[in-house]
Structure formats: structure tokens, C-alpha cells
């Protein structure tokens, strides 16, 4: 089926919409990385949850696909030689479940880099991680946490029974340690169905009001992120005969104003095995850097080497340029 091409044959046009690469070349000409402020590191696919929207296909059984000490050491070495780096974004899976998570956090924070932990919140109440909230606060880590709705049924339907209650408890733990006040706690919304996120500013106001009134919890900002139609989420849509329509929605909602601000223009993504990609989504589809054979952290001298290189694209990229645009920091333009 052509609708499954983004899942099975990474990088090929879906046949449902005009190829993204063709469209971006007509608009932008040379689609390249213009800077390198952000280093995103996927520490592995091991996670204590199994979510329907997960483009990583993470879960509790993914014990082998995790970064080892050699890769972690090389990433730290290269980062120390990179001149323009500002932020290190640790993701997964549940990045905190990787045995090198805390060592990486301490290393980057000791160099005065901003560190983001992409936290699913439930890990904070997971047995064996009871001191995690204290560690994050002590290190001054920015916590970006997934909470796709302020209604329990919607969250549990997407992320599993009991996840919402544990997420609320996790936010309370973070609030008690200063998060949402003196330390940054940002929440992430992604649609529970095949639609674009609503206006981020308006939804943030709703989240703040409802979470404060219902649970007396606080956070700083809400990031609205579009679901990308690859891997588990693409399979979820295909089973419901909604993938074609969703691809058309993304393509029809293409916003040229978002192109200059998509995250791949200032970010590079590192896989758990040390492979280098233009973004986390390309990483999951194993699409290498544009015009290059598969490269790893052992093939470069510094992460600055990837600046001004072309960015590999495929039709799933419509997800980052639809509507208000989408990045790991939420909406990127005002429509």
C-alpha cells in the first residue's frame, strides 16, 4: 500500500501528496543547516510507557537499543570541541532509563550548557527513580514533559491506563522542587487524533487554568507539537484508514513561513548507536544526512562539521511545516 511508504521505505514519496523535497526546493532553493545551537541526543528506545503516537516505537521491551558508554564518551568529546552549541536535548524512549543519563547531564551542565530532559512524567514515580526529581532540580535541568491533554480519559486513551494520574503526581513532585516557578517546566501537547494542534497561546491559557483549578499544579509554557506520520503513529492511522487523509491535511496546510524556523536548520540529532541525522524523525526512518553515506560520531571531528550542509527531507516533513509549524519547542510561527 502506498500509504505505508513513509514507514517501510524511508524517504520515498508517498504518492498521496506532492513530494515535500520538490516543494521545498521550489520555495527555498538550498535547504541547509544555517547554524548549530542545539544537539539532540536520543539515548535509546527503552521506555516505561507504550504510546500510540510514539514515532520512536519505544517501550519496556526495547532493552538492547540503548546508548553505551563508548558512544556517550564520544558525544561528550565532540560536544566539547563544538563552538556554537547552546542546548543539549536529551530524549528517548525515557532518556532517564539509560545508565549514562546522569553522567551526560553532569558533563553538559558543568560546561554551562542548557540541558533539556524530555520527560514522560511517569518515570518520576517509577520504582528505582525516586530520586530523579531531586537530581533534575539539583542540576538545573529544563524539564519538557508530555501531557497531551488536561482530561484524564484523553491522556489514558493515548498513553495507557493510569498514566494521567501518575503524570499529575510527577508534576506535583517537580512543583515541590521549584519547577514551574524558579526552574523551567514546560508541557507538551500533541493532538489525540489526526488533526493539527490548535492555537498554542489559547490552549496554554486553558491548560494553566484547568490544571491549577483541578489539581493545583503549575508550569511555565505549553508546546504544541504536530504528530508526525511515521512508525507507530503511521501504523495507527493506517489501521483506521486515516493515514491518506492526514497526509493530505499536512500537505494542504503547508506554511512557507515555517520553513526558515524548523528545528533541523539549527539542530543535529544523534542516535543511540552514534549515527548522525538531520532530525529525530529522520533518525527513526534511518534517513542519513543529505548526500552522505551513513555517518556516525566517529566520522567527524566536531559537530560544527555539519553546519551549512544540505538537509535530507521526505514527505513526513510536512508535519513540521503545517499550520503554525512544529518543532521540539512547539509552534514556530503565527498563522
Q: Tell me, what CATH number does 309's domain have? A: 3.20.20
Structure confidence at residue 115 (pLDDT): 98
**Does 23 map to a domain?**
yes
Tell me the mean pLDDT in the region 268-293: 91
Q: Which tens digit of pLDDT belongs to each residue from 112-125?
A: 999 999 999 999 99
Percent of the chain predicted with pLDDT > 70: 91
| Least confident window among 52-61, 87-96, 162-171 | 52-61
Tell me the mean pLDDT in the region 13-19: 74
Closest among 34, 38, 37, 83 to 308, alpha carbons compared: 34
Question: Quick check: 12 pLDDT over 50?
Answer: no
**Does 68 map to a domain?**
yes
> Which has the higher per-residue pLDDT, 9 or 194?
194
Structure confidence at residue 10 (pLDDT): 41
**Does 335 map to a domain?**
no
Residue 245 near residue 16, CB atoms below 8 Å: no
**Does 333 map to a domain?**
no
pLDDT classification of 89: cutoffs 50, 70, 90: very high
Percent of the chain predicted with pLDDT > 90: 65
Q: Which cell is 318 given?
A: 510536512
Distance CA 122, CA 48 (A): 8
**Does 332 map to a domain?**
no
Query: Residue 82: how many CB atoms within 10 A of its CB?
Result: 19
Q: Which tens digit of pLDDT belongs to each residue from 150-159?
A: 888 887 777 7
Strand partners, 270: 41, 276
**Does 327 map to a domain?**
no
Structure confidence at residue 64 (pLDDT): 86
Strand partners, 276: 270
Question: Quick check: 162 pLDDT over 70?
Answer: yes
| Least confident window among 4-18, 212-226, 238-252 | 4-18
Residue 163 near residue 156, CB atoms below 8 Å: yes
CA torsion 78-43-90-295 (nearest 10°) is 40
> Which has the higher per-residue pLDDT, 144 or 65?
144
**Does 12 map to a domain?**
yes
Largest CA distance in the chain: 53
Distance CA 160, CA 51 (A): 7
| Least confident window among 48-62, 69-83, 214-228, 290-304 | 48-62
pTM value is 0.91
Between 243-252 and 231-239, two packed helices, what is the crossing angle to 10 degrees?
A: 120
- Measured in whole angstroms, the distance separating CA 190 from the mean position of its chain's CA atoms is 11
**Does 326 map to a domain?**
no
- Measured in whole angstroms, the distance separating CA 273 from the mean position of its chain's CA atoms is 18
Structure confidence at residue 155 (pLDDT): 79
Q: How many domains does the chain have?
A: 1
Q: Which cell is 205 given?
A: 491559557
Question: Quick check: 297 pLDDT over 70?
Answer: yes
Domain that holds residue 161: 2-321
For the chain, give the mean pLDDT: 88
- Measured in whole angstroms, the distance separating CA 96 from the mean position of its chain's CA atoms is 15
Distance CA 230, CA 228 (A): 6
Q: Which tens digit of pLDDT belongs to each residue from 249-270?
A: 999 999 999 998 999 999 999 9
Residue 217 near residue 211, CB atoms below 8 Å: yes
Distance CA 27, CA 236 (A): 32
Amino acid at each position: 500500500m502506498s500509504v505505508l511508504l513513509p514507514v517501510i521505505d524511508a524517504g520515498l514519496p508517498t504518492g498521496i501528496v506532492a513530494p515535500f523535497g520538490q516543494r521545498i526546493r521550489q520555495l527555498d532553493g538550498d535547504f541547509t543547516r544555517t547554524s548549530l545551537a542545539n544537539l539532540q541526543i536520543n539515548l535509546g528506545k527503552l521506555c516505561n510507557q507504550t504510546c500510540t503516537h510514539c514515532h520512536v516505537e519505544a517501550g519496556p521491551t526495547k532493552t538492547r537499543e540503548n546508548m553505551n558508554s563508548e558512544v556517550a564518551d564520544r558525544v561528550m568529546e565532540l560536544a566539547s570541541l563544538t563552538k556554537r552549541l547552546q542546548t543539549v536535548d536529551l530524549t528517548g524512549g525515557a532518556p532517564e532509563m539509560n545508565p549514562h543519563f546522569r553522567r551526560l547531564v553532569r558533563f553538559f551542565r558543568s560546561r554551562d550548557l542548557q540541558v533539556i530532559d524530555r520527560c514522560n512524567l511517569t518515570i518520576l514515580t517509577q520504582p528505582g527513580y525516586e530520586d530523579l526529581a531531586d537530581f533534575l532540580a539539583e542540576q538545573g535541568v529544563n524539564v519538557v514533559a508530555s501531557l497531551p491533554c488536561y482530561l484524564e480519559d484523553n491522556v489514558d486513551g493515548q498513553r495507557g491506563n493510569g498514566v494521567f494520574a501518575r503524570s499529575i503526581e510527577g508534576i506535583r513532585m517537580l512543583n515541590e522542587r521549584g519547577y514551574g516557578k524558579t526552574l523551567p517546566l514546560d508541557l507538551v501537547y500533541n493532538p489525540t487524533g489526526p488533526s493539527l494542534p490548535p492555537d498554542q497561546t489559547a490552549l496554554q491559557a486553558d491548560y494553566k487554568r484547568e490544571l491549577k483549578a483541578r489539581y493545583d499544579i503549575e508550569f511555565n509554557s505549553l508546546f504544541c507539537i504536530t504528530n508526525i506520520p511515521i512508525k507507530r503513529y503511521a501504523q495507527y492511522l493506517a489501521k483506521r484508514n486515516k493515514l491518506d487523509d492526514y497526509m493530505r491535511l499536512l500537505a494542504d496546510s503547508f506554511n512557507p513561513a515555517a520553513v526558515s524556523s524548523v528545528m533541523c536548520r539549527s539542530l543535529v540529532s544523534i542516535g543511540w548507536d552514534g549515527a548522525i541525522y538531520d532530525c529525530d524523525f529522520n533518525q527513526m526512518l534511518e534517513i542519513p544526512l543529505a548526500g552522505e553515506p551513513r555517518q556516525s560520531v566517529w566520522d567527524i571531528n566536531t559537530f560544527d562539521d555539519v553546519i551549512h550542509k544540505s538537509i535530507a527531507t521526505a514527505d513526513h516533513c510536512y508535519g513540521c511545516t503545517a499550520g503554525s509549524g512544529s518543532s521540539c519547542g512547539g509552534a514556530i510561527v503565527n498563522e
